[in-house]
Amino acid sequence: LVTKTFKPEPTVIEVRGHKIGGGSLTVIAGPCAVESEEQTLATAIAVKNAGAHMLRGGAYKPRTSPYSFQGLEEEGLKILAEARDATGLPIVSEVISPATLEISLKYLDIIQIGARNMQNFQLLREAGQARVPVILKRGISATIEEWLNAAEYIMSEGNYQVILCERGIRTFETATRNTLDISAVPVLKEKTHLPVIVDPSHGTGKRDLVIPMSLAAIAAGADGLIVEVHRDPLHALSDGPQSLAPDDFADLMKRVTILHDAM
Ligand code: PEP
Ligand code: MN
């Protein structure tokens, strides 16, 4: 179901009037984690004013350490829904289990399955039974073939609204948090009709690399980006070093829009 042989024309996913794929640009922006109502609303308004199309924010955080901030859970989803009411931006957040998926469906416009759960086959099947678009992130050590098979799990249950997100893979390189595989974009474009977006924040782990890699992703043919933005990155509860301040994000939006329009 994922292949272009099965379906040659690009899949276009419509969310509250905004199209993902098929030549339109989609930029999803917001904090790594929903930390408070005030922080989320301020960031949502800032990214909306800069031209973002959707709002992201983690409510269930799959943190490497069990002692790190784990997210506000359902309270975080309620805050995201308030931010949608305030800005009109559709909301995206990660689910980490079938139970969190069920709760999240009451609030979200798009659900995200994170790198750590790319091969959580039960979660993929349940996301396939939902009728809401799914952003499927590439697993930390997943090949493109394994990733497409994960998308196939979702689609085989009847949910054809899958968006693939390249977010960097683990390599021997330590200068960056992950190695962002930009070549995955044209490889996927050859194999699948599904929309492809890139996460330059987790892909690099470094704020200064986010704009260059965003431009590289769009130049390579990506349908959009998912970018971490925090009102006050130095005090973020998670992923501050890779989060853009609102001004930097406004700069990113300008440059990415010019590049996309020129293509
Ligand atoms: C995220 O987007 O918040 C996240 C945890 O990303 P990933 O699953 O790519 O690590
Ligand atoms: Mn993050």
Residues lying with their CB under 5 A of ligand 2, a single-atom ion: 32, 239
pLDDT, mean over the chain: 97
Cβ–Cβ < 8 Å for 136, 113: yes
Summarised one tens digit per residue, pLDDT across range 62-109 is 899 999 999 999 999 999 999 999 999 999 999 999 999 999 999 999
Q: Is 111 in the pocket of ligand 1 (CB under 6 A)?
A: no
Rounded Cα gap, residues 101 and 123, in angstroms:
8
Summarised one tens digit per residue, pLDDT across range 203-231 is 999 999 999 999 999 999 999 999 999 99
Cβ–Cβ < 8 Å for 44, 30: yes
Residue with the smallest CA separation from ligand 1 atom 3 is 32
Give the number of the atom of ligand 1 that is nearest the alpha carbon of residue 137.
9
- Domains in the chain: ranges and CATH: 13-262 (3.20.20.70)
**Structure confidence at residue 62 (pLDDT):** 87
Summarised one tens digit per residue, pLDDT across range 138-194 is 999 999 999 999 999 999 999 999 999 999 999 999 999 999 999 999 999 999 999
Q: Where are the beta strands (DSSP E) in 144-210?
A: 162-166, 196-198
137 beta partners: 165
Q: How many residues does the chain have?
A: 263
What average pLDDT does range 43-52 have in this prediction? Answer: 98
Q: Does this complex have an ipTM over 0.90? A: yes
Q: Is 166 in the pocket of ligand 1 (CB under 6 A)?
A: no
Cβ partners under 8 Å of residue 235, min gap 6: none
Q: Where are the beta strands (DSSP E) in 44-189?
A: 54-56, 91-95, 110-113, 134-137, 162-166
Give the number of the atom of ligand 1 that is nearest the alpha carbon of residue 168.
9
Rounded Cα gap, residues 100 and 34, in angstroms:
15
